[in-house]
Amino acid sequence: MTTETLSENKAFGGTQGVYRHASRATGTDMTFSVFVPPQAEHGPCPVLWYLSGLTCTHANVTEKGEYRAACAQHGIIFVAPDTSPRGDGVADDDSYDMGQGAGFYVDATQEPWTPHFMMRSYIEEELPALIAGQFPVDMARQGITGHSMGGHGALTIGLRNSGTYRSISAFAPIASPLNCPWGEKALSGYLGDDRAAWRDYDACALIEDGARAPALLVDQGTADQFLEEQLKPELLEAACSKADIPLTLNLRAGYDHSYYFISSFMADHVAWHAERLKA
C-alpha cells in the first residue's frame, strides 16, 4: 500500500507524522497520524492505537492529546486514525452524530452507508497491516484506547480481538450503545433494526456474551455533560463485576468531556499500557 507523507516533525526525540493512503476498506482516502519514539532506532516498539470520538479526526488527539512525552519515555508508537470515511460521494447526515465524523467503528450493512462506512474492517485489518509494513512496530505487543465514541470502539474492538490486544483502556466511553440515544441512532442507521446484530458493537453485550479481557482501565469525568444520558459507565462496571473482569474505573471529580480532561490523564494511560506491553 502506498502512503503519502503529509507532514513529519521532530518531537521528544522521535517523529510525529501525518499520512494519507487510499483505503480498500472504505473506498476513500484515509488520513492517520503516527508518533514514533526514539527507541525505534534500536528495534521494533509496541503500538498503542487511539480511536477518536464524534466529530473528530486524527488531528484532535495529535494536537491536544499530550501523549508524546509519555510515549517517548516508555518507547511506544502511537497511532491515531480518522473516525470515518470522508469526501465527495460519501454518505453524510446533517446531524453531528451520524455520517462523516461519526463512523462508530462498525461495518455498515444498510444503505446509504455500506459503500464506505467499513470502519471495523479498516481498524481491525487494513490499517494494522499498513502500519506493520511501514513502521517499526512489534505487532505482538498492541494496546488500544480511545475517547467517547472512540472509547466505545476501543472497548469493543479490544474485547472482540482479545488475542490481538494486550491492553484496553478508554476515556469517557459510550459504555453501552444499545442503551443510549447516540448508540440507538447510529446502530439502527448503520446496521438496521435487528438489535441482535448490534451486540457485536456494545462492550457490555460482548461481555455478557462471553468476551473477556485481563483488565480494563476507564477514566470518566464527573462533570461530563454526557455522563448520565449517553455514557453510563455503571453498566460497564456491572458487566465487568458479573464476569470477574478487573475494571479500574477512575471517576475524576470536576472534569468534563473535553481534551482538557483527556490530556490530564493521558500519561497515566500510556504508562498503564506500557506496563502490559513489556516484551
- The Cα–Cα gap between 239 and 176 comes to 10
Contact between 151 and 170 under an 8 Å Cβ cutoff? The reply is yes
Amino acid sitting at position 169: S
Going by DSSP bridges, is the β-strand pair 247-252/29-36 parallel, antiparallel, or unpaired? unpaired
Specify whether 148 is catalytic: yes
Contacts of 221 (CB under 8 A, 6+ apart): 172, 227, 251, 252, 254, 255, 256, 257, 261
Report how far Cα 76 is from the mean position of its chain's Cα atoms: 16
Q: Classify burial at 51, counting beta carbons within 10 Å of its beta carbon; exposed 0-12, middle 13-18, buried 19 or more.
A: buried
Q: Is 273 a catalytic residue?
A: no
Cα dist from 73 to 59, 101, 224, 271, whole Å: 22, 32, 30, 9
Q: Is 257 a catalytic residue?
A: yes
**Which residue, chain included where needed, has cell 482479545?**
162
Q: Residues 152, 257, 269, 273: which is the catalytic one?
A: 257
Active-site residue (options: 148, 167, 169, 176): 148
3-state helix, strand, coil in the chain (%, to 5): 40, 25, 35
Q: Which residues are catalytic?
A: 148, 224, 257
